[in-house]
Amino acid sequence: MTLTLEERTKIFDKVYRLVETKHFNPAMNGVDWNALAQSRRDQILACAEPEAFEKEVQLSLIHIWNAPQRR
């Protein structure tokens, strides 16, 4: 199974919005989610294989989860 660019874009945008609006820590551990998501967007959307796409999305989320909490 492969994902089209349109499908990958819809998934990316949905994940982006969900993290932005529903993340348990609105401060995102000091990570600028908007900047991170936008800087990685093209790289993530370029992943035609579902496994690579999923891995790249997960790497973005790991930046938030593993970031030391900043004030």
- 20 falls within a domain: yes
d(CA 34, CA 61): 12
Please tell me the predicted confidence (pLDDT) of residue 68: 61
Q: What is the pLDDT of residues 23-42, one digit of tens each?
A: 777 677 778 888 989 999 99
- 34 falls within a domain: yes
Domain count, the chain: 1
- 71 falls within a domain: no
Is the whole model's pTM more than 0.85, yes or no?
A: no
Give, for 57, the enclosing helix (H) or strand (E): helix 50-66
Please tell me the predicted confidence (pLDDT) of residue 69: 54
* Segments in the chain below pLDDT 70: 26, 65, 67-71
Q: Can you give the residue range of the structural domain that contains 49?
A: 5-66
Look up tokens 């496994």; give the residue. Answer: 51
Please tell me the predicted confidence (pLDDT) of residue 6: 96
Residue at 19: amino acid letter: V
